[in-house]
Structure 1
Amino acid sequence: MIKLKNFSTSPPVGFSKKECNKEMETFHKKLFALQNIFYADSRFALLVIFQALDTAGKDGSIRHVMSCMNPMGVHVNSFKQPSPEELKHDFLWRIYPNFPAKGMIEVFNRSYYEDILVPSITKKLSKEHISHRCELINLIEQHLKLNNIHVLKFFLHVSSEEQEKRIKERLTQPHKKWKYAKNDKVAAHKWDDYMKVYDMIINKCNTPEWHIIPSDKRWYRNYEVAKILTKHLESLHLKYPD
């Protein structure tokens, strides 16, 4: 049983910001080259999912890790609160058209996992309904794999203390204030509830596995995401067409 409380939100001992930032330069060069071949190869597609509590750094991770890639081969989609039109349909209706085509990398800033997280917190769906959604997501991700659409799932793990600090930064710093929403404080007060739901999600929907990223330090968070993404692309043995 995976429990988020057993995972540190801080970098492991022995990692320095200077060394990780230097390594990031290497990852950026590799990712630029790998994504170029990935696009030309066109045997695979890649879906990268970022889930996290507010302020954990979904936007920052995407910006810092993906900035080295050719925009023609990468698309980012942010799934916010469903619109009135989207609520008229099943929860996957707005998701399915955004799965990537072969050769493309699609990044989900939040995802269909919000449709488990939010109703679990608000108690608007029964446990049976939530369980059904978990089973359906597992089938969808299995279907994607069978169609050569790989899925990388990142949970950016930030401590309650660091989250509180970042919420205060959003309130006091002009270049961050636009990101602040009243729900930020509400979610922070329900920290334990969110952790319990994420424990459930990670355990019930762990194929493909979740990568739990220590995210109290932005530089280490970016380093880990870039490292995992690089290793995954290298494992595909990509090649240019003959």
Structure 2
Amino acid sequence: MAIKLKAIKIKDFKIQSQIEISKLTTTYSLEADEDDVKDELKKVRRKLGELQDTLYAHGKYAVLVCLQGMDTAGKDSLIREVFKDFNARGVVVHSFKVPTELELKHDFIWRHYIALPARGKFGVFNRTHYENVLVTRVHPGYIMGEHLPHVNSVEDIDDAFWSQRFEQINNFEKHIAETGTIIFKFFLNLSLGEQKNRLLRRLDKPSKNWKFSPGDLKERKLWGAYQECYQDALNRTSKPHAPWFNIPADDKPTARLIVAKIMYDTLKEYTDIKEPELDDDVKANIALYKEQLSKE
């Protein structure tokens, strides 16, 4: 007998009004065991893969998937599991690290703009342009590396600076949405306790030791500051054309399925995404082409 999972409704996760991050859930029960959740993910990601093929053939939309979350929130494994059934030509993943010397010579959005997916493709940003209002806000000294006009000291980085940066992000997303990019922004909402458990697993498992950095513990001590910055970012930048989704991330299989289902259910509403019609002359001669091939 097939197990029926709890329905995943987009409205339960989309941020559509001002939120308090402490009241957002980090857990979500699908009322099914882990194997059933994984089986359902296989079904949804297969449908997503088929939809991506159609998107590629249609060639008029791109899809940008933005993943943000604290260390150990599960971004890498989510990408691996959700996009497993995609044609490799149809999805490009970018993991943004510390800006390079060249990137620092441009505005902060430049390196993200040039990494945007082409029409017909999915682009996944593993950490995103939001690092520029998250990490840099917790560590404002990083801004000095951008060598911005009128920013001569950390004291110059005030509320007006951050308001302007949020406006620039909103303008960037509005522009790309208006020119054919469908935007998903997923906040993988991890609890402090679960992060501790995952960091301990990295230390306990020799095969995972390489993922651990002493810097993870330093950043963990700034948890409260990061939560405040995330709350501000979610409230200022969740827009109808570029919504944020709060994804409870304490359970990885559940988080992966929710992300996949939100993407699929949203994209299937784009009824104009379909394979292009064959040219009338080609369509009229299909039987002839078959005959030519069969006689070879």
Please indicate, yes or no, whether the TM-score normalized by the shorter chain is above 0.5. Answer: yes
Shift of 1:236: 1.4
Residue 51 (1) aligns with residue 68 (2): yes
Q: State whether structure 2 residue 54 is matched by structure 1 residue 37.
A: yes
Q: Compare 184-193 and 16-25 and name the one that shifted more.
A: 16-25
**CA drift at 1:123:** 3.1
- What is the CA distance between 1:15 and its match in structure 2? 4.1
The residue number in structure 2 matching 1:187 is 219
Partner of 2:254: 220
**C-alpha displacement at 1:96, in angstroms?**
1.2
Distance, in Å, in 1 between the alignment partners of 2:92 and 2:140 is 33
Q: Secondary structure at the match of 1:81?
A: coil
CA drift of 1:174 comes to: 1.9
Would the alpha carbon gap of residues 15 and 188 (structure 1) be closer, same or farther in structure 2, given more than 3 Å must change?
A: farther
Q: CA deviation at 1:13?
A: 6.3
Structure 2, unmatched stretches of 5+, are 1-17, 142-156, 278-296
Tell me, in whole angstroms, the C-alpha distance in 2 between the residues paired with 1:240 and 1:68: 19
Question: What is the rounded CA distance, in whole Å, between the counterparts of 2:38 and 2:116 in structure 1?
Answer: 31
Identity of counterpart residues, as a percentage? Answer: 36
Unaligned 5+ runs, structure 1: none
Decide which of 270, 275, 278 is 1:240's aligned counterpart: 275
Alignment of 1:57-206 (within 5 A): 57-124=74-141, 125-206=157-238
Rg comparison, structure with higher value: 2
Distance in 2 of aligned mates of 1:187 and 1:235: 40
1:241 alignment partner AA: P
| Aligned amino acid, residue 257 of structure 2 | Y
Distance 1:97 1:20 in 2: 36
Residue 98 of structure 1: SS of its match in structure 2?
coil
Question: Conserved in 1, the CA contact under 8 Å of 2:183 and 2:243?
Answer: no
Runs (4 or more) in structure 1 with deviation over 6 Å come to none
- Provide the rounded CA distance (Å) in 2 between the counterparts of 1:184 and 1:39: 39
Alpha-carbon distance in structure 1 between the residues aligned to 2:64 and 2:194? 28
Quick one: distance in 2 between partners of 1:135 and 1:171?
40
Amino acid at match of 2:46: K
- Is the alpha carbon distance of 1:71 and 1:183 closer, same or farther for their aligned partners in structure 2, counting shifts above 3 Å? same
TM-score by length of 2: 0.79
Separation of aligned partners in 1, 2:49 and 2:42: 11
Name the TM-score, length of structure 1 as normaliser. Answer: 0.96
The 1:13–1:150 alpha-carbon spacing in structure 2 relative to 1, beyond 3 Å, is: closer
Aligned length: 242
Q: Residue 26 of structure 2 aligns with which residue?
A: 9
* Alpha-carbon distance in structure 1 between the residues aligned to 2:102 and 2:276: 42
1:30 Cα deviation after fit: 0.6
